Amino acid sequence: MPFLDWTSKNQAKETVWKVSYHLLKQESVHGDVSGVNADNLLIQGDNLLVLKALIPFYAGQVKCIFIDPPYNTQSEFEHYDDKLGHNQWLSMMYPRLVLLRELLSKDGFIIFHIDDAESHYAKVLMDEVFGRSNYQTSIYVQVRYTAKTLKSDMAYHKQIEQALVYRRSCGARPHKPAIQTEGFEKFNFDITELATGRKTVLGGKTVFIFQPGEYVIEKVPGHVDGLKRIWATGSILDGNSSGRFFRDYLAGRFGVDGAGALYKVAGIGDDGLGHRYLTGPKKVSATKGKYFQGVPVEKRCLNVQDAELPIENFYDFSSQFGNCRSEGGVDFRSGKKPEAYIKKMLDLFSQPGELVMDSFLGSGSTAAVAHKTGRAYIGIEQGEQARTHCMPRLNTVIGGDRSGVAIDAGWVGGGGFRFCTLGEPVFDCNGRISADVKFATLAAYLWHFETGEPGQQAFDKPLLGFHDGTAYYLLYNGILGDRRHAEGNVLTHAEMQAIKEIFLHVGPKVVYAEMSRLDALRLGAEGLTFKQIPYEVKMR
């Protein structure tokens, strides 16, 4: 398999394992953090350090990761640096992707939003980290109108960005959109042509124009060959080909064709009919029209109500990208993604109640969408906008924010999140455990190091748990009740007897403590492996 090489790649690979574990310090709690909101975290700090800090607690737990890192466009923006050298960009991304992979669940997906500046390198880099067989698709996203004017000195007009989608393993399954869940009851109109109509060309499409009396629109019981009536107004005018055609070519034709005209437009629609019927405004001052859509081809052929459609690899969000700058009540220029786009990605690759993550949170869009759609989330942002943008935005969401996807998601407010910052390293430069490390925190680290599983259970006793028939224990901070430093963290005959009597287990045991007073014969007789803190803990 091809792989990337660059000047500092070896250092980037070593960084993954050399970066130190840090504590996370809770600074404040916002709203109600019970239930699905218990895992909602907004964390300010270097995302490399934060990701490493999360590994012992969330390894294999994140269902969907959405990242929108700097594109390396060599541009300067108000809130972040996008002028890294090529080697720097690759060295920045590699260790972060490795850690993100560790956090992703076996049935999880990662979505990497990028543009052409680094997309080809990003693809090969993702192949190397996640495995080429786990590449799923590239979703192309229209982010600008074709007619939008950019800088006059630009040689090319960028309209498209893309999202690379990878799974963690073959057990991952996306949520494919279902063919309409209703039957045919809404396809309850028939249109009969009583004349040939007047032929013209609009927007490069052949159009037949029928005047009142030259056609009949009849409401009938829904059937497979019926048509569904849809108003061409609001977001519909930007959202599909029929709405855009009405907006661009029919909305202003009242003075040409009069009231009540019917338009038969060839070459648009996805229902296999080869045309679409549209009606214009009924009076001069009106702007609304209607179009009539047939039963989708897949549903017509399968005649089922619950079949799945393949996931499309192109979406037009140019309108939403052009109007998202102040979504959530925070202004964030050059880089903000609209909530509608992020919701589409989360809907395809996660479900409500599952944990999603964004380690380049920016203005907080991913966390806001996750909150509004009932997903747990972890958002990481290094810059000061964690406090100036993300925190107030999420507080606004808790208060019932009505912007973005709120209406579509039925959002009315509630929930909460915890705001955290990076604390002290777990281990100092000499390998000693920081005095700030509590028993439960060290227990979570040891449990993860030994088992590879996240340490999410309640650690409040020496027995941490069982894994593959082995019991794991930790003597630290006088957990057995002896607070004396010289005794409480030492494996003595008394401690060994207490462990045996309180926590019955027939099988191998691993005990972490600062010192052991049992000789090798006694340890062997008890089926016990002693591991000394901190020397057999640091960076294992």
Q: Are residues 283 and 333 in the same domain?
A: no
- Looking at the structure, do residues 30 and 164 belong to the same domain, yes or no? yes
Among the candidates 376, 394, 423, a domain finishes at: 423
- The count of structural domains within the chain is 3
Residue 440 contacts residue 23 (beta carbons within 8 Å): no
Give domain status of residue 4, yes or no: no
| Residue 471 Cα distances to 50, 279, 400, 499, angstroms | 29, 73, 47, 11
**Which residue has tokens 């090319």?**
156
Query: Are both 267 and 354 inside the same structural domain?
Result: no
Q: How many residues are listed for the chain in this entry?
A: 540
Instruction: Kindly state whether residues 49 and 162 are assigned to the same domain.
Output: yes
Domain housing 201: 189-302
Q: Return the residue matching tokens 């497979």.
A: 224
184, part of any domain = no
| Residue 182, domain member (yes or no) | no
Residue that terminates a domain, selected from 302, 331, 366: 302
Task: Indicate if 31 and 162 belong to the same structural domain.
Answer: yes
Helix (H, G, I), strand (E, B) or coil at 526: coil
**Other beta carbons less than 10 A from residue 123's beta carbon:** 19
**H-helix or E-strand containing 102?**
helix 86-103
Tell me the CATH number at 336: 3.40.50.150
Residue 336 covered by a domain: yes
* CB count in 10 Å sphere of residue 271: 18
- Structure confidence at residue 286 (pLDDT): 65
Q: Which tokens go with 473?
A: 């224990």
Would residue 181 count as lying in a domain?
no
Evaluate whether residue 431 is within a structural domain.
no
Examine residue 540 and state whether it is found in any structural domain, yes or no.
no
Q: Are residues 237 and 164 in the same domain?
A: no
**365 shares a domain with 297:** no
How many other CB atoms are there within 10 angstroms of residue 171's CB atom? Answer: 10
Phi-psi region of 94 (alpha: psi -120 to 50; beta: other; left: phi over 0): alpha
Same domain for 103 and 31, yes or no, is: yes
* 474 within domain boundaries: yes
Is residue 56 located within the same domain as residue 36? yes
Q: Are 243 and 338 part of one and the same domain?
A: no
Last residue within a domain, chosen from 251, 280, 302: 302
Between the two ends of the chain, the Cα-to-Cα distance in Å is 30
% pLDDT > 70, the chain: 87
Do 280 and 374 lie in one domain? The reply is no
Do 404 and 369 form a contact (C-beta atoms < 8 A)?
A: yes
Percentage helix, strand, coil for the chain under 3-state DSSP, each rounded to 5: 30, 25, 45
Q: Please report the pLDDT score of residue 52 as a whole number.
A: 94
Residue 270 and residue 125 share a domain: no
Helix axes 47-58, 86-103, angle to 10 degrees: 20
Q: How far apart are CA 462 and CA 509, in angstroms?
A: 12
SS3 441: helix
Spell out, as residue ranges, where the chain has pLDDT lower than 70: 1, 71-84, 147-154, 178-182, 234-239, 284-287, 298, 300-307, 333-334, 478-488, 538-540
Q: Pseudo-torsion of CA 321, 63, 411, 67, nearest 10°?
A: -20
- pLDDT one-digit tens code per residue, 50-107: 999 999 999 999 999 999 998 665 444 344 444 567 888 999 999 999 999 999 999 9
